[in-house]
Amino acid sequence: MAAWIPILTFHDLKDHASVISYPPELFRRGVLKLHERGYQTVSLLEVADCLRSTKPFPERAFAITFDDGYESVYQEAFPVLQRYHMSATVFLAVGKERSTEDKTRLPSLEGRPMLNWQEIREMHRFGIEFGAHTCTHPNLTRLSPKQIDSEMGDSKKIIADGLSFPVRSFAYPYGRYNHHVLEMARSYFVCACSDRLGLVAVGKDPYTLKRVDAYYLRSEKLFDLMLTGLFPWYIRTLSIPRGIRRLIQNRLRW
């Protein structure tokens, strides 16, 4: 059993030089390696369940999340996840439109192509989970309680109606939350993800789940750290000042 578990965050799987793009080939190779070493995905609900019952996490377990709902999740990630029998949670920013017709796409973010509802339903049938990520992807800390309520409640309902399945997880846009946002998330969901960097440790709050952004795993060498005892240590070094971090990383040739 393990005292911590990594929740990985991806956005778009593309070869663009952008902080939210991650090379598809690196994703494929990384997931294959984890599979070969006996690693398995757990769902966020299982993570939340462990936290609530203060149980340790399964050994060699990790969770995968995709934020926003880019089309590349279907094109690039889904075939890889299917091949290795892995799951993931995709957080959708659904827009205000209530149409969940097959060909309706989610509203574009960053000018990128998004998933349509046919793709979302196909992935759901295979076991990919879907969580809410609001309607319009705002910084929730700047909204009134009424607006926060409709961003969370409406997005949850649109996805639940589109899938005929309950929606139990949430990710804060830009990772931003405050007391009001947190309280609202507690009333709607079973767990919620922040974008604070870290591993999830036993006993932590399921509504402020830390994650590891794939940005920090942008090479095969860095991804391979997940397979080693150095991984928690690497994640910890990322929160220390950059100068000292460079010294350590140069020493270890990361």
Site string for Zn ion, 173-192 (x = CB under 5 A): x-------------------
Q: Which is nearer to Zn ion, 162 or 173 (CB)?
A: 173
Closest residue to Zn ion, Cβ-based?
Answer: 67
88's CB contacts (< 8 A; 6+ apart) are 41, 63, 64, 65, 66, 77, 81, 128, 129
CB contact set of 119 (below 8 Å; sequence gap of 6+): 71, 74
| C-alpha pair distances (Å), 134 with each of 54, 81, 83, 171, 187 | 29, 25, 30, 8, 15
Would you count residue 68 as binding Zn ion (CB under 5 A)?
Answer: yes
Give the whole-angstrom CA distance, residue 156 versus residue 74.
Answer: 21
Nearest distance, CB of residue 171 and Zn ion, angstroms: 7
Nearest distance, CB of residue 11 and Zn ion, angstroms: 7
Region at 24 (left for phi over 0; alpha for psi -120 to 50; beta for the rest): alpha
Instruction: Mention every residue, 6+ apart, whose C-beta is less than 8 A from residue 60.
Output: 2, 37, 38, 39, 40
| Residue 1 to residue 251: CA distance in whole angstroms | 31
Residues 156, 185: Cα–Cα separation, whole Å: 11
175: left (phi over 0), alpha (psi -120 to 50) or beta: left
Shortest Å, Cβ 178 to Zn ion: 17
173 vs 206, beta carbon nearer Zn ion: 173
- The two tokens of residue 52 are 């609530």
| CB of residue 92 to Zn ion, shortest distance in Å | 10
User: Between 67 and 119, whose beta carbon lies closer to Zn ion?
Assistant: 67
- Span near Zn ion by CB under 5 A; candidates 48-56, 79-87, 97-105, 166-174: 166-174
Residue 89 CB neighbours (<10 A): 24
68 or 231, CB closer to Zn ion?
A: 68
**Is residue 151 involved in binding Zn ion (CB under 5 A)?**
no
Binding span for Zn ion by CB under 5 A among 63-71, 97-105, 229-237, 238-246: 63-71
User: CA Rg, the chain, in Å?
Assistant: 18
Single out the residue of 5, 26, 31, 67 in contact with Zn ion (rule: CB under 5 A).
Answer: 67
Supply the minimum distance, in Å, between the C-beta of residue 80 and Zn ion: 22
Binding mask 70-109 for Zn ion (x = CB under 5 A): ----------------------------------------
In the complex with Zn ion, which residue's Cβ is closer, 67 or 76?
A: 67
Q: Does 213 bind Zn ion (CB under 5 A)?
A: no
Contact residues toward Zn ion (CB under 5 A) are 67-68, 173
